[in-house]
């Protein structure tokens, strides 16, 4: 009888707990046909590969699960688990700059990543504190990386190439909202300059080849968003941090035991500065989004030299140098054309996007790599049968400086992003 008496209270407690639980996620399926060579030498000897056959690819770039819980009294948590490219383990690619050798791509945790895991204390809307593994919201893509926030089948190429994406790191964040302003300031473990390279600038720098994240030199980031104008968000974000000594073992710094003098690279920091502007206008039928990003790395020649000396023999670092700077700029427009054919709850966006970026701006004395300058144009359709799902198709054309072959492609995808319970 006592158990029966307690049953309604137990059910009420379970119901209250369920109301505090948030479950969601997003996913992408992509099919592509690339009408250009897939040879690892196509940039080194463009003329030999101009007539190569096209090639197709099938991929699931991202499949993500969100889990969140509100404990009450201002305490909450969130996790985000991401599965990339359908599996786990070590991926391989052929590096033309290394005589087309097969090179393993080492990422912490393989291709299953814990992108978020944090606890938060909310004091009031203007002041919240998060501690754990956080998204670093530098750039428009890292701020809004879910697939319904861009028109292309794949993530916008410029920002995705030169910045970590999704950029996540362990640290502390303070954020708040006051009227039309939102701010966030973060201190995180920092980037590893030995993971930078020619083709991707700092893209791989937030990862770690070890079972832990080296954090000798923390990184500092901030983001400010303003929504004073109706339907428009304007944002500025930045990152700063030293990157040379976030390696294991940290034997580039300290005292040389044989001479008693500071080691050769003790005073070098490879300071990285990144700045970004982005915006999004979301109207009833018109969507316009854009970004501009710039990054500068001090001591890039020394970092490249150390990388070259430490590569090989199972090292997680490649021989490829890193430049002193990288930049990316992109702009996209989308217009819902379904109202032309009558009232509809669905949406069909006709879109176009243009991008220009360069992942390798060399310092004086560094080797040139002209193929890293790319201009992209793409156009296509996004059909939203319901707000949480989009079917995407696009034609993309990648242009290079004179002497390189253009790279056209067709991409088709279906994506979703939703909260299943909140």
Check whether the bond before 249 is cis (ω within 30° of 0): yes
pLDDT at res. 225: 98
Please state, in angstroms and rounded to a whole number, the distance separating the CA atoms of residues 242 and 240.
7
Please state, in angstroms and rounded to a whole number, the distance separating the CA atoms of residues 407 and 37.
8
Please state, in angstroms and rounded to a whole number, the distance separating the CA atoms of residues 310 and 384.
49
DSSP readout, 259-306?
T-SBPTTTT---EEEEEEEEEEEE-SSEEEEEEEEEEEETTHHHHHHH
pLDDT tens by residue, 132-141: 999 999 999 9
Q: Contact 290/141 with Cβ under 8 angstroms?
A: no
* 31 has pLDDT over 60: yes
Nearest to 275 by CA among 138, 381, 103: 138
Mean pLDDT of the chain: 90
**Tokens at residue 18, please?**
């369920």
Q: How many separate domains does the chain show?
A: 1
Nearest to 25 by CA among 422, 392, 385, 420: 420
pLDDT at res. 212: 85
Please state, in angstroms and rounded to a whole number, the distance separating the CA atoms of residues 19 and 27.
24
CATH number, domain of 74, equals 2.40.160.10
pLDDT tens by residue, 227-250: 999 999 999 999 999 999 998 888
Q: Which neighbouring-strand residues pair with 213?
A: none
pLDDT at res. 19: 77
> End-to-end distance of the chain based on CA atoms, in angstroms?
35
Nearest to 166 by CA among 129, 213, 207, 130: 207
Q: Which residues of 306-336 are buried (b: 16+ CB within 10 A; e: fewer)?
A: bbeeebeeeebbbbbbbbbbbbbbbebbbbb
State the virtual CA torsion across 90, 94, 98, 104 in degrees, nearest 10: 0
**DSSP H or E stretch at residue 191:** none
Average pLDDT over residues 300-305: 95
The DSSP letter of residue 63 is E
**pTM for the full model?**
0.90
Domain of 69 in residue numbering reads as 2-421
Q: How many CA atoms lie within 13 A of 155 on its CB side?
A: 21
How large a percentage of the chain has pLDDT more than 70? 89
């Amino acid at each position: 009888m006592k158990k029966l008496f307690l049953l309604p209270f137990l059910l009420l407690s379970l119901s209250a707990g369920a109301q505090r639980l948030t479950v969601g996620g997003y996913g992408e399926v992509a099919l592509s046909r690339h009408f250009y060579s897939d040879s690892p030498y196509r940039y080194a000897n463009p003329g030999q590969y101009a007539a190569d056959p096209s090639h197709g690819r099938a991929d699931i770039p991202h499949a993500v699960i969100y889990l969140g819980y509100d404990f009450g009294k201002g305490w909450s948590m969130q996790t985000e688990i991401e599965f990339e490219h359908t599996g786990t383990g070590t991926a391989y690619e052929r590096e033309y700059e290394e005589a087309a050798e097969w090179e393993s791509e080492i990422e912490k945790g393989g291709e299953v990543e814990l992108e978020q895991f944090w606890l938060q204390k909310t004091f009031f809307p203007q002041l919240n504190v998060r501690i754990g593994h956080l998204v670093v919201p530098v750039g428009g893509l890292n701020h809004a990386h879910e697939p319904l926030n861009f028109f292309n089948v794949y993530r916008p190429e410029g920002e995705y190439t030169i910045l970590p994406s999704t950029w996540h790191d362990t640290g502390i964040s303070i954020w708040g909202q006051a009227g039309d302003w939102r701010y966030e300031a973060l201190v995180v473990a920092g980037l590893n300059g030995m993971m930078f390279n020619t083709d991707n600038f700092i893209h791989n720098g937030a990862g770690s080849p070890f079972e832990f994240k080296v954090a000798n030199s923390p990184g500092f980031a901030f983001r400010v968003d303003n929504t004073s104008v109706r339907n428009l968000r304007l944002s500025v974000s930045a990152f700063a941090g030293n990157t040379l000594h976030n390696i294991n073992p940290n034997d580039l710094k300290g005292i040389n035991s044989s001479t008693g003098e500071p080691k050769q690279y003790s005073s070098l920091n490879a300071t990285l500065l990144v700045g970004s502007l982005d915006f999004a206008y979301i109207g009833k039928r018109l969507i316009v989004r854009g970004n501009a990003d710039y990054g500068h790395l001090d001591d890039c020649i020394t970092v490249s030299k150390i990388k070259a000396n430490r590569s090989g023999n199972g090292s997680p670092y490649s021989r490829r140098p890193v430049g002193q700077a990288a930049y990316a700029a992109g702009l996209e427009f989308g217009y819902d054309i379904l109202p032309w054919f009558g009232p509809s709850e669905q949406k069909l966006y006709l879109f176009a996007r243009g991008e220009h970026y360069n992942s390798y701006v060399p310092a004086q004395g560094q080797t040139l790599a002209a193929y890293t300058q790319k201009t992209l144009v793409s156009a296509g359709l996004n059909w939203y049968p319901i707000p949480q799902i989009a079917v995407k198709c696009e034609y993309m054309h990648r242009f290079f400086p004179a002497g390189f072959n253009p790279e056209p492609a067709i991409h088709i995808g279906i994506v979703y992003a939703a909260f299943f319970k909140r």
